[in-house]
């Protein structure tokens, strides 16, 4: 990455600052005068009702899907306009204008992948009129809020358009399956992988998660497992608790059949996880191998392919570096493309990248098809679109069906090569052109066990052993995951412990706080018991404490603080596909940390693990990679401030007669980022107590309880 930054600065030096500032001054003058009156006029074409319940969660009603999309954007903006507005430069490849040098690598990525131009050229032809109207209605809702609240809005970012949102979908799905980690490697000062050699025989690969720690839970059971014939599902995707991918809760309902309750991200006009009256689904991150990097063999002005000289396709683009205020410095860059895909020059070679989902922009169509599905057949038809190229899905419905899909649009690669390494770029036979179809994805429908559990583990261990898929039926070139998480070990053990589970048993799986004895985490911590320490030493005291630890992260546990300190390092290394670190220096540091902050090695876990927002500071049970997943960062006081993991937790069930009930809880409140809002942290006590709040499933039920109501547009 340092090499990339050096190249950017060279571009700065050769640019002409005076002309750049003059150009920016003209542009800033124009953008500051965006037509707010036009946004207000457009709003008159929509009619929508927003009813907020006692916790501030918006229930949004309209005749058309577009009316509801308009209202959804406005409601989100009322709660978190700052985050939503900050996404616009990302969509446009202009983060450098907002963040300065820190934004340029992302801008370069957006320009390099040519997403914006592709969307501009294909928006009208690829997306249906209904989906375009939906995206544009959501953008209109954002524009209307900006027009109504001019002191919050940055005028150079408006008006937002449906195309902005389409670009966002095309980019964000790449980041979830780890695309950026492969690109980041190329900017290192030296190659980060070996070059693959022609195979003598088939090679197997271990595919783990790359980049930052991620995790999610989703699990379901039907009448084959429940003791009362009910079908139940827990929907619990883990995300940061703040920022552009933090969960926001909403209920949307139109007269055109859109009726969903669940979680969305800022700027997302469809429910990403949740339920309607008939079905529900949860989403967990998976990391199949969907990216291949080729090292090109250069000659003259091009590269060699099967001995033939092939010229690069080239484009010129301008990155925009923030200087001061609205002034920016345009930096010219030449972008390359090869027959493999986008190409890039580095200090250690020229590489090309081929990846699943390249020039795929139908994600909004698939999300809407999922939102409108009312049975398993329709849901599978939506998934068969394959516009969303990764994620695991766990599904349940009122008819008692449960379904698991390891969604992975994996390339059909040449057999035998080690596709984890860089590939020789001079062979056409390594440029794949096909990706597997829906039926080839690992999936299980209605296992005889009656349950399914997905917690970012291998798709071959998601239910009882006799119902699991056989990995030998899937070629290694698909790059499917083989890792297990503690959440998988522990959750599968809990499902298998009883022949039938009550509702209380099912919910206990969600809130479980144990590390399984066979987990990687506990295996790592147990190394301390094999070490010898001096008598009466702090190290021996810690060893004795850890020998008593049962692996639980309950509030009253006195060994969890030291144990979690140790295993957190193993977890972070595993997430980066690195070997676990030597435990000795980790142990030294953890002992020192406990004594420095707590003056003892065994503080209560309640003293260490906290949910903090504003003046709220509440003890939390749970920890990294337990089913009650809490990921914290240390504060100056030594407390761990929860920053990721359990956020919006959704639960719905249908009894044996098909009657639905549901509950949710959010880590803070109705995703309001406004400190003066009564819903800034009003759900925090419920979240800490691991209690759901009942969900009103009808408009009548919402109106029967305390609520506020708004009709949009505000002025006709």
As a whole-number percent, the residues of the chain with pLDDT over 90 amount to 75
- What pLDDT shows up at residue 515? 97
Q: Average pLDDT, stretch 156-164? A: 95
Mean pLDDT of the region 19-35: 53
Question: Would you state the pLDDT for residue 324?
Answer: 67
Confidence of residue 108 (pLDDT cuts 50, 70, 90): confident
CA gap 279, 91 in Å, rounded = 32
Beta-strand runs (E) in 415-482: 423-424, 443-445, 451-454
Listed range (16-30, 117-131, 161-175) with the worst mean pLDDT: 16-30
- Concatenate the DSSP letters of all residues of 340-378 into one string: SSEEEEETTEEEEEEETTTT---HHHHHHHHHH--SHHH
For residue 570, what is the enclosing H or E element? helix 560-575
pLDDT in tens, 422-434: 999 999 999 999 9
What is the structure's pLDDT at 219?
98
The owner of tokens 């989703």 is 218
Q: What integer best gives the mean pLDDT of the chain?
A: 89
> Does the pLDDT of residue 25 top 60, yes or no?
no
Rounded mean pLDDT, 124-149? 98
Q: Which residue has the higher pLDDT, 104 or 532?
A: 532
Write down the residue that tokens 């990721």 correspond to. 644
Distances 128 to 103, 125, 131, 369 between C-alpha atoms, Å: 33, 7, 5, 12
The pTM of the full predicted model, rounded to 2 decimals, is 0.90
Query: Given this model, what pLDDT does residue 245 score?
Result: 87
**CA-based torsion, 672, 673, 677, 679: positive or negative:** positive
Of 267-271, 340-344, 529-533, 576-580, minimum mean pLDDT range: 576-580
Domains in the chain, ordered, with CATH? 2-194+315-330 (1.10.439.10), 520-626 (1.10.1400.10)
Tens of pLDDT along 449-495? 999 999 999 999 999 999 999 999 999 999 898 999 999 999 999 99
pLDDT confidence of 37, banded at 50, 70, 90? Answer: very high
Q: Average pLDDT for residues 188-208, to the nearest whole number? A: 41
Residue 292 has pLDDT above 90, yes or no: yes
Question: Which of 6-15, 182-191, 206-215 has the highest average model confidence (pLDDT)?
Answer: 182-191
Spatial contact of 649 and 678, defined as CB atoms under 8 Å apart: no
Percent of the chain residues past pLDDT 70, beyond the cut: 88
Which pLDDT band holds residue 575 (cuts at 50, 70, 90)?
confident
């Amino acid at each position: 990455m340092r090499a990339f930054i050096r190249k950017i600065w060279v571009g700065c030096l050769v640019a002409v600052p005076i002309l750049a500032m003059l150009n920016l001054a003209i542009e800033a003058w124009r953008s500051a005068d965006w037509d707010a009156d036009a946004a207000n006029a457009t709003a008159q074409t929509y009619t929508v009702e927003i009813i907020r319940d006692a916790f501030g969660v918006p229930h949004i009603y309209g005749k058309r899907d577009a009316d509801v999309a308009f209202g959804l954007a406005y409601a989100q903006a009322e709660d978190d306009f700052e985050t939503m507005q900050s996404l616009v430069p990302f969509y446009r490849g202009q983060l450098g204008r907002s963040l300065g040098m820190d934004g340029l690598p992302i801008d370069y990525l957006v320009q390099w992948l040519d997403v914006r131009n592709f969307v501009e050229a294909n928006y009208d032809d690829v997306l249906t009129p209904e989906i375009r109207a939906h995206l544009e209605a959501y953008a209109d809702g954002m524009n209307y809020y900006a027009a109504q609240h001019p002191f919050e809005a940055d005028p150079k970012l408006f008006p937002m358009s449906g195309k902005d949102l389409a670009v966002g979908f095309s980019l964000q799905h790449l980041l979830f399956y780890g695309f950026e980690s492969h690109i980041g490697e190329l900017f290192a000062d030296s190659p980060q992988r070996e070059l693959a050699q022609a195979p003598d025989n088939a090679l197997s690969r271990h595919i783990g998660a790359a980049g930052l720690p991620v995790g999610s839970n989703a699990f379901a059971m039907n009448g084959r497992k429940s003791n009362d014939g009910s079908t139940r599902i827990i929907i619990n995707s883990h995300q940061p608790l703040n920022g552009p991918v933090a969960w926001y809760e909403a209920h949307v309902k139109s007269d055109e059949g859109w009726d969903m309750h669940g979680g969305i991200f800022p700027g997302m006009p469809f429910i990403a996880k949740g339920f309607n009256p008939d079905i529900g689904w949860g989403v967990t991150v998976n990391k199949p191998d969907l990216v291949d990097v080729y090292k090109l063999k250069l000659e003259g002005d091009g590269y060699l392919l099967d001995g033939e000289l092939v010229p690069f396709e080239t484009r010129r683009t301008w990155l925009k570096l923030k200087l001061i205020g609205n002034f920016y410095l345009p930096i010219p860059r030449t972008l390359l493309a090869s027959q493999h895909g986008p190409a890039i020059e580095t200090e250690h070679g020229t590489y090309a990248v081929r990846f699943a989902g390249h020039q795929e922009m139908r994600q909004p169509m698939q999300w809407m098809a999922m939102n409108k599905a009312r049975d398993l057949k329709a849901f599978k038809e939506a998934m068969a679109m394959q516009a969303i190229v990764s994620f695991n899905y766990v599904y349940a419905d009122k008819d008692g069906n449960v379904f698991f899909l390891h969604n992975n649009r994996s390339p059909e690669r040449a057999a035998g090569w080690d596709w984890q390494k860089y590939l020789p770029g001079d062979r056409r036979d390594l440029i794949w052109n096909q990706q597997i179809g829906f039926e080839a994805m690992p999936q299980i429908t209605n296992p005889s066990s009656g349950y399914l559990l997905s917690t970012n583990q291998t798709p071959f261990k998601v239910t009882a052993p006799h119902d699991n898929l056989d990995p030998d039926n899937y070629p290694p070139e698909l790059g499917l995951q083989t890792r297990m998480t503690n959440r998988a070990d522990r959750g599968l053990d809990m499902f298998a412990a009883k022949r039938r589970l009550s509702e209380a048993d099912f919910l206990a799986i969600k809130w479980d706080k144990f590390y399984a004895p066979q987990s990687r985490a506990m295996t790592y911590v147990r190394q301390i018991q094999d070490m010898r320490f001096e008598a009466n030493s702090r190290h021996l005291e810690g060893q004795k404490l850890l020998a008593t630890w049962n692996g639980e992260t309950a509030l009253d546990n006195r060994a969890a603080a030291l144990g979690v300190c140790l295993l957190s390092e193993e977890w972070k290394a595993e997430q980066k596909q690195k070997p676990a670190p030597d435990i000795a220096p980790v142990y030294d540091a953890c002992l020192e940390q406990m004594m420095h902050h707590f003056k003892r090695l065994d503080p209560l876990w309640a003293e260490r693990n906290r949910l903090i927002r504003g003046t709220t500071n509440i003890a939390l049970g749970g920890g990294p990679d337990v089913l009650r997943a809490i990921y914290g960062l240390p504060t100056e006081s030594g407390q761990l401030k929860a920053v990721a993991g359990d956020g919006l937790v959704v639960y719905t069930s249908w009894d044996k007669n098909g009657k639905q009930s549901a509950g949710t809880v959010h880590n803070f409140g109705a995703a309001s980022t406004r400190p003066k809002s009564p819903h800034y942290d009003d759900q925090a006590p419920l979240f800490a107590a691991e209690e759901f709040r009942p969900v009103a499933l009808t408009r009548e039920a919402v109106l029967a309880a305390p609520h506020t109501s708004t009709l949009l547009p505000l002025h006709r």
